[in-house]
Copies of this chain bind each other. A is one copy, B any other.
Amino acid sequence: MTWNLEPHLTTVDQNLPIGIFDSGVGGLTVYRALHERLPHEHFVYLGDTARVPYGTKSLATVERYAIENSRFLADHGVKMLVVACNTASALALPAIRNAVHVPVVGVIEPGARAAVSLAKGRPIAVIATEATVQSEAYKHAIREIDPIAVEVIERACPLFVSLVEEGWANSEVALSIAQHYLGDLGNAQIGALVLGCTHYPILRDVISSVIGKTVPLVDSGEATAVTVETILESRGLARRLHEDFARTRHLCDDLDHFYVTDAAQRFAKVAERFLGTAPAVLEAVEVWGHDELRTY
């Protein structure tokens, strides 16, 4: 009796946008993956730049921030919510699902599924923030998909985020930091490595050169886009439009709206580095402090 658990879904408008939130700018790699796979859809992106990063913060704090972000997007009218931030996906998915009444997709489960399928029984490495590693969310998700599977090696790489935001992804410094974090994985015969933080796909080349170019890298954003497509189709939520429409879309055009909780100018600058273009529509907003007024 699925309709009984989610009665509201019957009335959801297919033309509503898909909400995406991240702790900051990193989720733009997930936005890009979604935009590429689903060019018919509109997106509303929220970057919590006033409180970024989440990866060094506690469960209670990450949950609180994630709920505030989710409610902001739900209020905005979205048909679905994508939690682009790995840390929030790892720590706060149950709390988010309690807080809003639309389907919620995190990046952990799709990433874990892609890794299991690529690794073919060999060890899976997961690199992520301190909080994500500590939660063991990827390990649990992988074990749930394949209970008798594989060794899972999890490793926190905190400096990677600052490296990417500084624009040093292809520097000598990036290479020596990657060697420090991952040098020993070259001999671990790993079958797949999960890029378990939204910033890490930007470091793809450097990471590959350290762990070996034959090891497949899992970009959780791309894996998540596949999951989102499946859910949209199965629930009749996909936007139906003439094929020509998709061809006229481009990243960050004015059909996609971007919100940040602080420092819009810095966000635009880093967005340009990540996507090659800055958002056409970008606005600073507050997402906190109105909990007691809500009726969720």
Chain A residues with a Cβ under 8 A of chain B: 49-52, 56-58, 60-61, 130, 158-159, 161-163, 165-166, 168, 171-173, 176-177, 180, 261-263, 266, 288-289
Contacts and interface: CB of A to CB of B under 8 A. Distances in A.
Nearest to A180: B173
Contacts of A130: 266
B263 A57 contact: yes
24 contacts: A49-B56, A50-B51, A51-B51, A52-B56, A56-B165, A56-B263, A56-B266, A57-B263, A58-B262, A58-B263, A60-B262, A61-B262, A61-B263, A130-B266, A158-B162, A158-B165, A159-B168, A172-B176, A173-B173, A173-B176, A173-B180, A176-B176, A288-B289, A289-B289
Nearest to A58: B263
Contacts of A176: 172-173, 176
Copies in the complex: 2
A212 to B, nearest CB: 22
Give the 8 A-B CB pairs with smallest separation, nearest first. Answer: A162-B162, A58-B263, A61-B262, A50-B61, A159-B162, A57-B262, A58-B262, A173-B176
Contacts of A173: 173, 176-177, 180
A51 B171 CA distance: 29
A266 B55 CA distance: 12
A263 B261 CA distance: 22
A165 B55 CA distance: 13
B61 A57 contact: no
Nearest to A65: B50
Contacts of A180: 171, 173
A289 B290 CA distance: 10
Contacts of A159: 159, 162-163, 166, 168
Contacts of A166: 158-159
A238 to B, nearest CB: 37
Contacts of A158: 162, 165-166
Contacts of A263: 56-58, 61
A135 to B, nearest CB: 13
Contacts of A49: 56-57
A159 B172 CA distance: 14
Nearest to A60: B262
A63 B24 CA distance: 20
